[in-house]
Each structure stands twice: as structure tokens, then as C-alpha cells.
Amino acid sequence: MNFRSLLIVPLAALVLSAGATGLPMPDGWMTARYATLLNVPTGGYSGDGYEIGIDTSISGGLPSLTIRSIAPLKKDLPAVGHAYQTVTGYAGQRVRFSGQVRAEAASAWAGLYLGLGENDVLMPVTMGQAGVEKKLPAGAAVPAADGVWREVSVVMDVPADAPFLTLGAAQVGEGQVWVRDLKFEVVGPEVPPTTATVGIDWAQARRFHAQARENIARISPQPLRNAALD
């Protein structure tokens, strides 16, 4: 896909491939899932918390990409499922990512986001990595549970030294979000940039990350495994 000609392509125009959960995925899109499940006693992250792909139960109209929690999540720990792609060639420009979004039974944040960086820009936020408060992607949310389609847009100034930009849709916590009729374009200075960020509790995630490091530090010294490489 030629991103220099702007991504103003509805999902209907993209080739579909099967996602990890069985739902078809639009070509060019990637998925990531970070969820702390009730049935994971160690408190570690699991990739089984979300189903992501084209909602095949919706007939007619534009195809809708959906992100849905499929397992009970630990309420006091961060969890997010999202679909995204990375674009290049927009350094020094103001860009807008927009589309129609709706959410149902969402316990936290659901919407579109733009972030600076290659690949999964939500991973360091969800995992509470050091300095994450300086890397929060801009985001535009919809009401968490009314099920109404709404026009949503996220606008960002891409720094002149930023070669990569990541855009996507995310469901934070439990619930389901749908997105459709997505567009990505360069806009002029008259369009104000988005000041809101993706609604991940990064302070909570950072505490979880710090606690996990403390727990690892208490583990007894481990020997080298398979030194013979056999």
C-alpha cells in the first residue's frame, strides 16, 4: 500500500486474512493483546483476553473491525486489545486519523489513537515501562457503552525527526468496540491537534511493572540452561 498517497481507504478495500482468534483480519493490520486474566494466578499477561478481527455477524454496509474482551479481566490491572499499523513519510506534518466508532459494555476506554514510534506503541504503556508518561499516544474515545456510531478523529503533529507513526483502534479493559470507514490524511494548521491521550492508567501499570521486577529480584540464582547446546 502506498502510504505517501494517504491512507484514505475503507476496510472494504483491504484483503482479509484469518486472525489468531478465527476472525478475518484486514491485510496490513496487526494485533496485540495484553490482558491480566482472573484465571492467571501469577498476575502475568496473557494473549487470550481479546478477540480481534472483522465482525462477520454484521451484514451489509461497511466492514467493521472489532475488538472484544473474551475472558474476565483483573479489574485492578491494565489490559488492552488493539489493532494497528505503522506508517512512514509524514515527519514534520500534521496528520489526522478518523473513522466511525461505537462501543458496548466497555468498562474503560474505547476509541482511535495515534502514537509516535515503530510497531506497538501501546505495549510500553500497558506494561508500565519507565518513562512511559512521555510516550502516551493521542486518543479519541467514544462513550463506553451506548452502542451508537460516532465520528471520531485524532490529530497529531509529527516531529521532523520522527520516521514512524503508529495508528490504531483500542479497547481498554472489558467490553467491545467497532471501527469502520477509516481515513488517514495530512491536514492544515487550522485543524487543532488532539490533546487527550489513550485512557490507559499508566500510573497503575507502572506500579504493576515495578512490583513484577521486585518479585523477579527475589528469585534464587538460576544456572545456565543447556550449556552444551544439544
pLDDT digits (tens, 9 = 90+) for 203-224: 888 887 787 778 888 889 989 9
119 within some domain? yes
Confidence bin at 71 (pLDDT 50/70/90): confident
User: 129-146 burial, b for 16+ CB within 10 Å, e for fewer?
Assistant: eeebeebbbbbbbbebee
Q: Are 141 and 111 in contact (CB under 8 A)?
A: yes
DSSP conformation class of 205 = H
Residue entry with cell 493483546: 33
CA atoms of 139 and 69, how far apart (whole Å): 20
221 within some domain? no
How far from chain centre, in Å, is Cα 43? Answer: 21
Q: Which of 113, 83, 100, 114 is nearest to 180 (CA)?
A: 100
Residue entry with cell 488532539: 194
pLDDT digits (tens, 9 = 90+) for 159-207: 999 999 999 999 998 999 999 999 999 999 999 999 999 998 888 888 8
CA atoms of 64 and 213, how far apart (whole Å): 39
142 within some domain? yes
CA atoms of 54 and 58, how far apart (whole Å): 9
- What percent of the chain has pLDDT above 70? 84
Domain of residue 209: give its range: 3-215
Report how many domains make up the chain: 1
Contacts of 220 (CB under 8 A, 6+ apart): none
225 within some domain? no
Tell me phi and psi for residue 21, to 5 degrees: -95, 0
Confidence bin at 1 (pLDDT 50/70/90): very low
All three cell numbers of 121, joined, read 506503541
226 within some domain? no
CATH number for the domain that contains residue 117: 2.60.120.260
What single letter denotes the amino acid at residue 119? N
